[in-house]
Amino acid sequence: MAKVVIIGAGFAGHTAALYLGDALGKNHDITVVNKFDYFGFVPSWVWVGIGHMKPEKTVFPLEKIYRKMHVNFLHGAVTEIHPDEQFVLTDRAGGGTEKLEYDYLINATGPKLNFAATEGLGPHEGNTVSICTLDHAKDAAEKYASFLTRLEKGEQLKMVIGTGHPGATCQGAAFEYLSNIHKDLLNRKLRDNVELTWLSNEAALGDFGVRGISAKIGGEIVSSEDFVRDIFEKNKIKWEVQKGVKKVDQNQIYWEDYEGKEGSTEYDFAMLIPQFLGIPMKYLDKDGNDVSAKIVNKPGFTLVDGIYGLPWQELADNPDAWPGVYQNPTYKNIFAAGIAFAPPGSISKPHTNPNGLSITAAPPRTGMVSGIIGRIVALNLIDLIKKGQMTHKERMTEMVAACIASMGDSLWDGSAATMLMYPVVPDTRTFPNEQGRDMFVTHMEMGLSGAWMKRIIHSTFMWKFQGRPGWKIIPE
């Protein structure tokens, strides 16, 4: 009987658990360790964060689902990984420590939200709100309600949405929060009272950390920079890009830009995405020595089958540098999925300003991408346990992904920016055009149909993630 331990139950870990439980759960030991006892549908926390969706509609308890799928569940956190002896140590949520042995280990923890890297950032000890966790989103909704009260009294206020660190990722989530805020203010007839600004570390407007997107619209090639600029100009949204936030006080956001210039942006309400790091854990050999260098990089993400250390242009020219099976090269029975895996570099071109500050959007590895990788890892473990060899591979240079950024949650007067790209990481070898993507598949569109698609995705994925009938036919 094989023992598989999965650390984390987000998009990647939970997807892996469903596939492994379905295929192996009756005859093998599958265990998920997660710090929360519920699964949260993160994309809908944008709506929770403005009070448009009840928090309970975005979550469900994990243990009941896993019991149905023949998967064990431990509510707690892994603190130590012992790769030579093949066990992990966990701190149970209710107290106590437990040792779990494994034959295969999947690290799918998601990120450590490194608010501390930016002075004054964050919802607890800082001055900004966040939608990165359910509690954060609920707090953001409360702060937003107070902001609305001030607007209703006639105050003219400033709101800033974007990224709060020079190396942040997840620009898409911040962009969607901004567009929903805009729509909500319009509906409340308060939009004229707010100066709304997008502040980002992107290389260009609409870059989103994926080197931008270009698509054929009306027979012409349109870039995501033009696409987003058109949205912002029509809706009177200001933008500031190529800026790395370094500090936030109660009314100013301080940054450096690409040229090394220092400046600040004034605000009354701000939601800024923090830097993401790997979840801190100890990695110890049988003698108690630290072997973390063999398993994780300096930010704490798990090293896998990518090619690390290439200059950016070489990485951009080599689609095979991106991992395909997400397997650690030293400990072959350790895999990583979602944000937990270490990318070989940035997708967008990195930039270091004259002051030595790197202002570079980290590669996005959330949502659809996380789910796909979770499935690939699970299918390979099923192969290894049943056949002794892996047969599945999918690099981010081969992966399709969709981003639907809603502008309001209404199915009648809402809208959404729908962006489909293939592949996620440009591959100029397969697609020898300036964009390095399939121009037939890659697409951008703004309209009501996107709002319907966003709501359908919420409903179908909440169905899928609960392992309900037909869950496997719903794509990641």
Confidence category of residue 122, pLDDT binned at 50, 70, 90: very high
CA atoms within 13 Å, Cβ hemisphere of 4: 31
Q: Three-state SS across 331-392?
A: CCCEEECHHHECCCCCCCCCCECCCCCECCCCCCCCCHHHHHHHHHHHHHHHHHHHCCCCCC
Mean pLDDT, range 375-400, rounded to an integer: 97
Burial (CB < 10 A; 0-12, 13-18, 19+), residue 108, is buried
Reported for 407-411, long-range contacts at CB under 8 A and 24+ positions apart, including other chains, are 407/179, 407/180, 407/182, 407/183, 407/451, 408/179, 408/180, 408/183, 408/184, 408/187, 408/451, 409/47, 409/52, 409/53, 409/180, 409/451, 409/454, 409/455, 410/451, 411/448, 411/451, 411/452, 411/455
d(CA 121, CA 305): 34
pTM: 0.96
Q: If residue 277 lies in a helix (H) or strand (E), which one and from where to where?
A: strand 275-278
The listed CATH number (3.40.30.10, 3.30.70.890, 3.50.50.60, 3.10.105.10) that belongs to domain 3-112+277-386: 3.50.50.60
pLDDT band at 446 (very low <50, low <70, confident <90, very high): confident
Core vs surface per residue 14-41: b (16+ CB within 10 A) or e: bbbbbbbbbbbbeebbbbbbbbbebbbb
Q: What is the pLDDT of residue 135?
A: 98
Residue 414 has pLDDT above 80, yes or no: no
Query: 219 CB contacts (<8 Å, ≥6 apart)?
Result: none
Residue 413 has pLDDT above 80, yes or no: no
Q: What angle do CA 144, 252, 158 make, to 5 degrees?
A: 40
Confidence of residue 82 (pLDDT cuts 50, 70, 90): very high
The full 3-state SS of 175-213, as one line of letters, equals HHHHHHHHHHHHHCCCHHHEEEEEECCCCCCCCCCCCCC
pLDDT (tens digit per residue) in 459-473 = 999 999 999 999 999
Higher local confidence (pLDDT), 220 or 155: 155
**Planar angle of CA 281, 285, 288, nearest 5 degrees:** 80
C-alpha distance from residue 123 to each of 35, 180, 255 (Å): 20, 20, 19
32, 71 Cβ separation under 8 angstroms: yes
> What is the band of 273 on the pLDDT scale with cuts at 50, 70, 90?
very high
* pLDDT at res. 442: 94
Q: Which amino acid is at 252?
A: Q
pLDDT number for residue 259? 98
